[in-house]
Chains A and B, each alone.
Chain A
Amino acid sequence: MLKKLAALLMAAAMLLTMTAAGAESAQAPVTISFYSTQAGVDDETIALLDEFMAQHPGITVNYYPCGDDQLAAWLALYSAGTAPTVSLLDVGQILNYSDYMYNFNQSDTEWMSHVLSGWEFCQKEGSDAIYGIPSSYQGFALLYNKDLVAQVHGEDFDVSTVNTVDKLVAFFDAFEAAGIPATVVFSADWALGSHYLGCQLFSEWLGDKETQRSILKGLYTGETKLIENEHFNNLMDVFDILKQYNINDADPLADTQEGDLEMLATGKTATMFQGDWNWLQIQTFADRDELAIMPLPLTNDETDPRNSMILGSCPKAYCVDTYQSTPEQQAAGVELAKWLALSDEGKEFMVTQIGSTLPFDEVNVVNENPLAVSTQEYLNAGKILDISTFLCEAPSDFWLIIGPYMQAYLAGQMDRATLASEIEAYFQDI
């Protein structure tokens, strides 16, 4: 028995040393690391980093892929004292931890002139520090099935004429008359809480970031009464319409993202409020029709510019750690962050692997994602309602707490006044 045990222990020890040997890395002037929350493309990211290292001899980059719990693994790296030098994170997270981040607005700021508008920068109120270089751009809008629109409204129909709420209802009614459910409401807490309500509620005002902030501040101070707020009511009126025409109306909370997108992509329903990133999932369906995006009108005023705009922003950015990285590592990290965002190789990766639009003026890669191409057109035409105030400055658990209230509203278990007061109570509780 003892012999057997000894043999087992030796085997275990051998296995251990076998694995320990794999952890050594080559000596190099500076070794940095990169943490990416862009899941699902690990091999491609490693290839991209290899390219960077080939162009920058002297810098070695270790890659830390994320799991589905992006923040837990990232914080664990900090707890371990091995903070990633460069991280690709949601902009809100970067600002939550901006105390530990590099300020890009201090050395070479030439790259900033290539960013399409100043809204994309990762900034805190009252400070000119910039904590991240944007990695991509995302458009949020009403996705529609081109084939169905052509079939029901005619080949020459121009969706930009659907620029009032009444016209939206007429647009939907035509589908219903043809026996096609007009829309599908994706019911995940983050889709309802963040994408529908959060993004739209805090992008109420055109142009001015200060006015966007005012609604957020009003909620903190308790001055904003949502139920009397015109924009909130407009949003919920349109939500009621989506709810009414929802293909899942009989059982609105029993859907999945894949299932909803499949219905849209195969012509079982005509529209869905989400965004250009959904193309990644749609691509996994062998049979699919052509899709495009259009604005979701919120008022009955044809001249309201918002009714011909889509929502958009830079959801993620590259940031550089200053808390656990040496100055040499920080310098190499800044180099890497800029290269990932702005080099031709980095841009090509974002466009071809992630299917994203980019917020930069010089992009020479052809995007295969038709939805992102649409977003780019709206962006170039200046028809974007920027939602960065919400993404950057709203509390990180807004969707977690408010999403379920929206679900209850969708399921007819909560009325608008209660929803409004629950949102107000949430801000008072923080």
Chain B
Amino acid sequence: MLLLLLALPLALGEYWAFQLGLFFLYAIAALGVALCWGQAGFLPLGQALFVGLAAYLSGAALIQWGEAWWVFLLLPFAAIAAGALAFLLGLIIFRGRSESGPYFAIITLAIALLAFQVANSWNAVTGGYNGMKAIPGLPGLEGFSDVYYLAAVALACAVALCGWLVQAPLGTLWRAIALNERRVAYFGYDTAMLKAIAFGLSGVLAGIAGALYAPQQGLVTPELVGFALSADLVIWVAVGGRKRVLGPVLGAVLVGILSAELRERTYYWDLIVAAVFVFVVLYAPGGIGALLAPLERLLPGRRKALEPLRAPASKAPRSAVTLAIDGVSAAAGEVRILDRLSLAVARPGIYCLIGPNGAGKTSTFNMLTGELRAQAGEVRLDGDILSKPTPYRLARRGVGRKFQIPSVFGELSIDENLRIAVWSARTSLLDWLRPATRRWDTPVMAALRGRYPFLDDGGRLASALSHGERQVLELSMALITEPRLLLLDEPCAGLSSEETAQVREVIRWARDTLGLSVVIIEHDMALVKQLAEHVFVLHQGRLLAEGDVAAIRSDPRVHEVYVGAAE
């Protein structure tokens, strides 16, 4: 492979060295698009902006200081500037809106179009419509084959970087975000930051392509910033395969070069590319890269078991939690959901939240985690008023949640699911890059593996688990974060009586070993009777009654809302 790359320009001549060099650069930018789209699940539709920015910067530097050898030292800054812009834009956009659907794509497209307008009209700096001309080549590099080797080395480095990122914990977190961003936030991750890092890195890759494009072509026009390249990058990534590291490279080099050659000869080439693109979107999301799967299986696998490594202690506070909800009201449109609700969790233990449908049980959880905005009243966690809570901030303070419908990351393995929980509130940016982080283990995790043997079958995909196993996996993940307050929404829904008994045991065990407070929404009164140390009864958004099970059972008001008043 390496020899082939080295020999190509000698065998094919200057023209091909030039063309291949150019498409190697495009492949670097395409790798960035794949990082965002294939890994983190959001599609940048204006990636040419970063290619163009770095190309203009690098062109300007070369025109100014093109003779000096140290101009090489300036080129990385062009790429870093593009990456910094991408990171900042990403952070601003993702903080403003947490979703990463089509709107993000359109925003990036609009920004790229805006940049085209700037490049096209700012004559003094960019050269306007005619572009920045007569950019000298890099000092010391003669001819197209030298530049070809530089592009090939840059591409190899970019592939290695992406391959490593995809394997690193960061890659797992990105894929988890693509599957269920809300759930990742509930594990205490700043998902906007994680996505902005992906976008920033894609900006750096686009910037490397741009910084080398300027000396390779000797000319930078506003076309480079515009729509066409952004569009081509997305097509190459889609056709090449966005999920595999080599997919975008295949796409850019194969489709790109074929296009450049055949576009002139057959009118219909672009029609074929468009049709192939639509076909890939509809039926073959893996692209050409999916054809590599059988080859990958031939490679010697690194299947040896990883030696577990004791994870550092959680950075979330460890002391027992106190929670006080005081007179909170919330509404959705005209409907009043919570009506001056007050309740308090003062010491560790198992609390059950019961009430008829529509009483506001799940809404209470949503209000606590900030998904339902409280219009009046206040919530105190450890005595501090919670203003503008978010799932991420609450998780950081030791509040975990398990949803009613088990939400695990279906397309990740059991191991990856568990790791996301272990890393919660324990990792820093550096840990996200270190492969050793994948081996982290904790006593809680080991204990849960002991209770539930299926968790040891780590290579299985979570989507292959039964409903009951998924319930258990999500509960385990919530417990592995070692929360101080755990909100459980019907943890035993859909479980057999045997499985229910096991979950009951686990909850008791967790209370004893972790000293945590558990609030459980539960309809199954038998389970409430067995588990609850304290029961809150909600009715029409208000606390109707509270006390131990016996007190609740004898309370006439509770009977009234459940079975109607005795006339």
**Do the two chains belong together in a single complex?**
no
The interface of chain A, by Cβ under 8 A from chain B, is: none
The interface of chain B, by Cβ under 8 A from chain A, is: none
